[in-house]
Structure formats: C-alpha cells, structure tokens
Amino acid sequence: MRLLRLVLTLFPLFAVAQGTEPTGPGILEESVCGSFREPLAFLLWSSAAGKPNPGAARRVPNAEPITHKTKDGRLLRGYKLKSTAADGIVRGSVLVAQGNAMLADQLLSSLNGLSTAGIETLVFDYRGYGNSEGKRRLKAMVSDYTELYESMSAATKGSRLLYGISFGGVVLLNVVGSGVSFERAVIDSTPSRVSHLGCPEKYDPVANFPQDGSRFLLVAGGRDKVVSPKDTQELIDLAKARGGRTEVQPDYAHPFMDSDIAVHQRRLELIKSFLVGTASQGAR
C-alpha cells in the first residue's frame, strides 16, 4: 500500500510528453503517459505486485499454465482455470485483467468459483510483470489484451466475457472501445479517467464506454482508498445513463482488499451471478 500511495503521489509530478503518443508502425513499448512518469509508475506497481508463486497454482487442481506470443514477439504467461461444472458443459470463457499491483497466480483461488458454473477463466501476468516478457507500457498492454481477447473469442463456443479489476478495467474498456463483440463485462473499481495523469484522452474509460451499456456491471466501494468513489463516479454515472447495472456498496474496499472475508465472498458472488447469467442463456 505504501508503494501505491507513492505512485499516486509522484505520478502527476512528471509532465514529460503529456498527452502525446508516439506514432509509427510497431511502436508498442513506447511511453504514452510521459517518458519518465509511465516507466516509473509501472516499476513501482510491478514491485508492489511481488514475485510469482508457483505453489499458488499447484493448490488449484484445475489451473493450467498457458502462454501467448504477442505480435511483437513478447511471451505472456498466465493460467486457464478449466471448467469443473458437474454436467461437463463449458458455457463460456472470461478474460480477466487484474489490478496493476497484482499477479495472475494471486487471483486463482478467488476466481475458481466461476469454474464450477462452467466458465473457463483466463488470467495473465501483464507484460513486464511476473512471468511475462516485455516492457510495462499502457499502449502495449491494451494491444496485448485485444490479442488475448480475440484469441479467446475464436476458441470459445459459449459466452465471451470480460472482468476488469481497477487498472484492468482501463485496459478492458480500451479493448471494448476497439469494437470487439462480447456478451457481458464486469468493471470493478476503475477510475473514470487517466488523462489527468498525462495519458492521451483516448485511453480514458469514459471515452471507451459504449452507447449501449446494457451488458455491463459497474462495481465500486465506499471504503476504497485506492480508487475513491469520487474517482469512479463519472464512469458510474455514464454506465447508469446508458443502461448499465451499477453496484456501489458502502462496505466494499478495493477489489481483493476487503478486510472482511464475508464481504469479499459477497462481491465475488455478485460478479459470478452477473457473468454466469448470460452464460446460462448461451452466446448471442
């Protein structure tokens, strides 16, 4: 937490190349939010995420290591949680994008509840995090997750789902903004904008939220000290206005940081019921 607060304190101070994005073919690992600021922020966030723990995956029997080679040759490593539905039916797949101070293996136990409902779950370490190669850059991460989603979508016979956590919501809303087809998406505790931190406005979540928000669940918490209710309010209001479902709970902290396990489980059940609701109807 102290590292995260340091990032949030330092991030606005370095206004190098604010709002400018490099152009040209194949440029994915260039900074778009400041040539000093962006690498520093991701360095601190990835340090806060810690190191991979192979034992975490071994404790989840249906966790299978997977990889993806990006178009610029970076190897991303993650896990698939295979369906454990009692009837053996795979009803869909969800691509998870975690917070920017988290690794894939840290979510496996909590996400495994989706497996029992027939949803296969894919979660990767971000580029430059944990076991994944490359430089940690926003533009590259958005590109990576567009590729990951397209790959998952092509292999999925059932519902195609998205679950973005905090910074992961920024990434996945940019994927949505590229025009991909999907059934439902959960965006949990994501800031409305990143342009005030020096990133181009086109990366703002509010700039990528679609006119039809009916396939979205937006979640926020009154006890969130990482992304405050004020930081996410514009996005919540936009989702409501465009037909999305919103759940702002006074006892929710930042995702996976709820101190009360009962609150954490209730949050996971909310997300599961929303995603599984469309899976039980089949893909459109």
What mean pLDDT is predicted for residues 25-39? 88
Q: What is the pLDDT of residue 279?
A: 53
Q: What is the DSSP letter of 74?
A: P
Total count of domains within the chain = 1
Residue 222 resides in a domain: yes
- Its domain, for residue 101, covers 2-279
Determine the distance from the C-alpha atom of residue 90 to the mean position of all C-alpha atoms in its chain, rounded to a whole number: 22
- The more confident residue out of 284 and 42 is 42
| pLDDT tens column, 108-159 | 999 999 999 999 999 999 999 999 999 999 999 999 999 999 999 999 989 9
Q: What is the pLDDT of residue 11?
A: 46
Task: Give domain status of residue 40, yes or no.
Answer: yes
pLDDT of res. 157: 85
For the stretch 56-94, pLDDT in tens is 999 999 999 999 999 999 999 999 999 999 999 999 999
CATH number for 148? 3.40.50.1820
Residue 3 has pLDDT above 60, yes or no: no
C-alpha–C-alpha distance, residues 108 and 154, integer Å: 23
* Torsion sign across C-alpha atoms 39, 45, 50, 51: negative
Rounded to an integer, the average pLDDT of 257-284 is 84
Q: What is the mean pLDDT of residues 178-194?
A: 98
Q: Which one has a higher pLDDT value, 18 or 131? A: 131
In a domain, 174, yes or no: yes
Domain assignment of residue 284, yes or no: no
What the block records as the tokens of 35 is: 């040539």
DSSP three-state, residue 35: coil
Q: What is the pTM of this model?
A: 0.90
Q: For the chain, what is the mean pLDDT?
A: 90
Asked whether residue 167 is domain-assigned, the answer is yes
